[in-house]
Amino acid sequence: MSSLRESAAVEAPVADAESRLHHDDHDALRLWLRLFACTSLIERSIRTQLRESFAMTLPRFDLMAQLERAPQGLKMSELSRRLMVTGGNVTGLTDQLVSEGLVVRKRVAGDRRAQAVSLTREGRKVFRKMAEAHERWIVALMAGLSPGERDRLYALLGRLKRGVAAMASQESS
């Protein structure tokens, strides 16, 4: 460690995922860092707008979005799986939404230990409002692309996704 130079830290002008590229990096790596940067920028904008317009966090919004699609309710285990978070996190998010009257827990018929979670009537109303705003924000964020470009991007990402899913299933087998 004695070989380290004692010099001042340097400030860089740019600061997103793409900023760590070297000139000779493979084009696949450049593509990944750009994909990641786009996703992060959009996600950050959505987080900010959800907080400012609805005092809502993204994980709670995502949880409500899953429930909105499942009018009969979802078991906690299924909700964890769909949100790809641990059971403890889902419990915490659900507790918050229950305390705000947006979500309700109920017993599952025929299973004493399992609980299902659903939106309340109020939760459904609140979610619909947020979802409308969310869609407007996304439309605005994507407005730099023409409809044709959006179609092409959608198709290319579909091919990428199939490739990644095929790779991932190889890994786990």
User: Which residues, numbered 4-33, are part of the site for its own copies (CB under 8 A)?
Assistant: 4-12, 15-16, 19-20, 22, 25-32
Minimal distance in Å, beta carbon 125 to its own copies? Answer: 13
Give residue 100's Cα distance to chain centre. Answer: 22
Residues numbered 106 to 165 that lie near its own copies (CB under 8 A) are 106-111, 114, 116, 118, 120-121, 134-135, 138-145, 147, 149-154, 156-165
Q: Determine if 43 is a binding residue for its own copies (CB under 8 A).
A: yes
One-letter amino acid for residue 54 of the chain? F
Among 47, 54, 57, 78, binds its own copies (CB under 8 A): 78
One-letter amino acid for residue 119 of the chain? L
Q: Smaller CB distance to its own copies: residue 17 or 92? A: 17
| Per-position DSSP letters for 125-164, written without gaps between them | HHHHHHHHHHHHHHHHHTTTS-HHHHHHHHHHHHHHHHHH
DSSP element (H, E) containing 82 = helix 76-83
